[in-house]
Structures are given as structure tokens and as C-alpha cells.
Amino acid sequence: MYRSFDQIKTALDSGITVESITGSYLKRIEEKKHLNAFLEVFTESALEQSRIVDAKIKSKTAGKLAGVVIGIKDNLAYKNHKVSGSSKILEGFESLYSGTAIERLIAEDAVIIGRLNCDEFAMGSSNENSAFGNVLNPINEKMVPGGSSGGSAVAVAAGLCSVSLGSDTGGSIRQPASFTGTVGLKPTYGRISRYGLLAYASSFDQIGPFTHSVKDAALLLEVMAGKDDFDSTLLQEDSRNFFPGFESTKKIKIAYIKDCIENEGIDPEIRSRIIQIIEKLKALGHSVEAVDFPFLKQMVPAYYVLTTAEASSNFARYDGVHFGYHSKNAIGVEDTYKKSRSEGFGEEVKRRIMLGTFVLSQGYYDAFYTKGQKVRRVIQNKTNDILAKYDFILLPTTPTTAFEIGKNVDDPITMYLQDIFTVQANLCGNPAISLPLGNHSNGLPFGIQVMGKHFDEGNLLSFSDYLMTNC
């Protein structure tokens, strides 16, 4: 299968059609359907779009993504196609419009091949919370693929599409990328329009790509980024080239958070690999220094207080009345709300809604929500102070490699701590990327994470490509 846009271009130049490329992916999806990555395959619309792109290639009017076949996470709106957030509550719902990111991909002649399984409404770190069953890790099918964008990561890792889209609220792109050996990018908050993304926590959510290469992630970002009247939180500037290339003579300053490397929960082989990369970068002439970050233990609690509060508000729209699942046993308005939501939502979503409602309730608002916002500001200030002195922050993506399916499903605290190294970028809004730079003795991959300055994806991606080549 094709592992890069460059390989696809070579195939097209040799006479291979987009329709045949799409057909090969459709065949492979069928062969690997036991992985449960796809909730729905858009066979007819994908083949129809492929033929349109082939005609454009012949007339030399094709866009920059011609030949690229993309799977999208099941929380992204695609006109006249179903979207459910992998939840029973949106049973049968079909989108009336396409999100901005999806429209921009299609405008450059990408082919959307299907919607991908995920943790329900992007709440989870293992893809075990989907109403439609677990996704299996193709590297070891006894292991989870990570979450919440597990289906998106698996689709790329298993060669079921060229690239895919996920969303990242607290690590939901980077963590599954680490578990599946793929590249996962979370752009700066406000870089890609969230219009058409089913909201979980609106001040944290960000759309991003899974790819096999940093260069491809940069091209997808270039296509999807840019101002949009439908998202007021977006940076109001036109898109640009996010892959200027790394200057080989440039010497940079990199910080690594000592508290992460020395964390007692980190796998010794992951720690050893990061130290190896640090020494390699020093040998290449770069400055790499340890920095203190005394708020590691506060990040996950602050993240869950704030995101669940936002979810409590956002999820009021799923009421069993306007659209989606409606309880057949309900009598009257109040009973409709209670039973439709109780039956339609999964356990993890109900847990987070209740937690969010609690922290927003009278008597607890200041103790939890207000304090959480203050902690977020402290974390942001400290991160900005570090990045004022250094070009990038280097840290693990995950504390371990992928764990066994079912191992942590009954222990929410252990599951939440999977996000310990990824939530910082979401709390602060910074861009961050997971790079497949580690291979464990247990046969599983793991990622190394790089965080950059706000809206500095160009340098972040160029340095990441340099890391992939030299480390």
C-alpha cells in the first residue's frame, strides 16, 4: 500500500487511476474488517469521487490531494453521510453539511472513503468506549490501539487508507499514533476550523491528521488551515506552507521536562530511548537542557475538571427530542430526557457528564471549575516561559506501549493517567506531534513527542522531519 503522497504521485504518473487506488483500499478494508476500524465504508460515493478526480487529472485541473484516500473520525460532519460520534444517542443521524476541514480536503480532490470508529464522543484512551465495539491494534490484536481516535490510527497503520483525520482534546491523536507507530499531529488550537466537529470540550478540541510521514502531515495541515467565518476562535489568516524544511546548519535549543523523564510510571525502555535521542541531538551540535515543570501532577486533574464541565454544557443538546435516539419506553417530556439519555449514552460519557455537572454546580463551582481555570493559566504561563527560552520541548507521548484490551477498562483513574504527557499541549493550546521513533522489546512501537510554540507548526514539522531522519 502507499505510505506517502509521493508514492501516490508516482503511481498516478505511471498510469494507475484514482479509482483503482480507491478500489485497492476497499478490498483491503474488507480483508481487515475484523479490526473494526471502519463503522461505515462510503463505497459508492468514494468510487464516484475517484472517477471525478481521474477526469480532472486527465484535464490537468486536479487539486494537490488528487489520489489521496482519507478516512475520517466518526465525529466529523460529511454532507449526506452519517455521523454518530460512535454513540447510540445519534442513531441514524445524517449530516446536512460538511465541516470546513472536510470541505477543504474535497476541494483539493481527496477521496473520503469512510467513517472511523472512536471512543464515544472522543471520551477515552483505548477505543474501548465505542457503542460499536473495540478497535484492534493491527500490530498485536490483543492490544488496544489507543484513543479516542483509535480507528483513525489503525486505518493508517493497517494500510486501509492513505491518511486519516482524528481529533485531539487531551491526546486523542498523539496517544493512538504512539500505540500504532504512526505520525499524529495536534495543531495549535485555532489553526484548523472546528466547524463540523462534534464538540466534546470546545476550548480543547482540535482536528489533526494521522500519516506515515511528517511531510504528508504538513500538506494536510496546509489544506485544512486558514480563516473561516464559521469558527470565531480561529486564527484569521490565510493558510501557508507548513514545511519550509530544516536548515542543516541551524543549531537549536531544546528543553526536556525532567519530571517526565524521571516519572515513576514511565516504561524504562521509553525513558532510555528519550535519553538516547537527547544524546544524539547533543552530538549533532544542538543544545538540549533539562527544565523543571512542577505541575505534572496537577495537569490531569485540571484537564478532567475543565473538559467534563464543557462536556456537561455541550451535551445538553442530545435530549432524545430533536434528533437521534429516542427511548421507546418514555412517557412525557421529563421521562423522555431521562430515559433517552440514560439508554443512549455509554457509561464513560455519563460519568463525564455527571462529573462536569457536579463541578459546575452551586457550591462547587469556585472550588473546582474556577480553580481549574487558574491552574490552567499557571500551566500555560510556565509552558510559555520555557518556550520563550527554547525552540521546542521534547517529552514522551505515552508512559507505556499499548496495553491489553480490557486491562484498564474498570479503572478510570489508571485510564485517565494515560494522558499525563499529552494534556499539556491541550491545556496550553500549543502544537504537538507524536513521532514513531521507538520500538520496544515487547514488539510494540511507541512515540516521542515534540511540542512547539503557538502557530509555529512550520518549524515544529521541519524539526520533526529532521528528528525522523537523524534519530
Alpha-carbon 281 to chain mean position: 27
pLDDT score, position 228:
96
Cell 421507546 belongs to: 328
Alpha-carbon 197 to chain mean position: 12
Cα separation, 135 vs 145, in Å, equals 7
Cell 521534547 belongs to: 394
Cα separation, 422 vs 381, in Å, equals 17
Mark whether 56 is an active-site residue.
no
Q: Are 148 and 118 in contact (CB under 8 A)?
A: yes
pLDDT score, position 142:
98
Grid cell for residue 370: 474556577
Helix, coil or strand: residue 223: helix
Mark whether 148 is an active-site residue.
yes
Beta strand ranges found along 260-351 (DSSP E)? 287-291
Cα separation, 75 vs 195, in Å, equals 11
Cα separation, 79 vs 375, in Å, equals 39
Partners of residue 255 on adjacent β-strands = 289, 393
pLDDT score, position 170:
97
pLDDT score, position 304:
96
Grid cell for residue 18: 484514482
Q: What is the dihedral of CA 48, 96, 81, 149, to 10 degrees?
A: 120
Contacting residues for 58 by C-beta, under 8 A, at least 6 apart: none
pLDDT score, position 239:
81
Q: Which of 241, 217, 242, 103 is nearest to 156 (CA)?
A: 217
pLDDT score, position 215:
97
Q: Please compute, for residue 358, the number of CA atoms within 13 A of its CA located in the half-sphere on the CB side.
A: 10
Contacting residues for 242 by C-beta, under 8 A, at least 6 apart: 218, 219, 221, 222, 225, 457, 458, 461
Q: Classify residue 333 by burial, with Cβ atoms within 10 Å: 0-12, 13-18, 19+.
A: exposed
Cα separation, 147 vs 177, in Å, equals 9
pTM over 0.95: yes
Q: Please compute, for residue 296, the number of CA atoms within 13 A of its CA located in the half-sphere on the CB side.
A: 20
Q: Which of 45, 73, 203 is nearest to 151 (CA)?
A: 73
Cα separation, 451 vs 186, in Å, equals 9
pLDDT score, position 245:
83
Cα separation, 364 vs 269, in Å, equals 42
For 112: left if phi > 0, alpha if psi spans -120 to 50, otherwise beta; the answer is: beta
Mark whether 172 is an active-site residue.
yes
Amino acid at 60: K
Q: Are 247 and 239 in contact (CB under 8 A)?
A: no
The interaxial angle of helices 18-31 and 43-58, nearest 10 deg, is 160
The catalytic position among 32, 73, 215, 453 is 73
pLDDT score, position 413:
80
pLDDT score, position 417:
80
Contacting residues for 385 by C-beta, under 8 A, at least 6 apart: none
Cα separation, 347 vs 228, in Å, equals 35
pLDDT score, position 346:
97
**What Rg, from alpha-carbon coordinates, does the chain have?**
21
Cα separation, 86 vs 272, in Å, equals 37
Order of strands, sheet of 432-439, starting from the edge strand that comes earlier in the sequence: 38-41, 111-116, 69-73, 163-167, 207-211, 183-186, 432-439, 445-451, 392-396, 253-257, 287-291
Grid cell for residue 452: 512547539
The catalytic position among 50, 148, 178, 434 is 148
Q: What is the pLDDT along the chain (471 residues), one digit of tens a residue?
A: 799 999 999 999 999 999 999 999 999 999 999 999 999 999 999 999 999 999 999 999 999 999 999 999 999 999 999 999 999 999 999 999 999 999 999 999 999 999 999 999 999 999 999 999 999 999 999 999 999 999 999 999 999 999 999 999 999 999 999 999 999 999 999 999 999 999 999 999 999 999 999 999 999 999 999 999 999 999 988 888 898 888 877 899 999 999 999 988 899 999 999 999 999 999 999 999 999 999 999 999 999 999 999 999 999 999 988 888 999 988 988 999 999 999 999 999 999 999 999 999 989 999 999 999 999 999 999 999 999 999 999 999 999 999 999 998 888 888 888 899 999 999 999 999 999 999 999 999 999 999 999 999 999 999 999 999 999
Contacting residues for 254 by C-beta, under 8 A, at least 6 apart: 281, 286, 287, 288, 289, 390, 391, 392, 393, 394
pLDDT score, position 400:
96
Cα separation, 441 vs 455, in Å, equals 36
Has domain 5-224 been given CATH number 3.90.1300.10? yes
The catalytic position among 50, 152, 172, 462 is 172
Cα separation, 424 vs 454, in Å, equals 13
Cα separation, 112 vs 165, in Å, equals 10
pLDDT score, position 303:
97
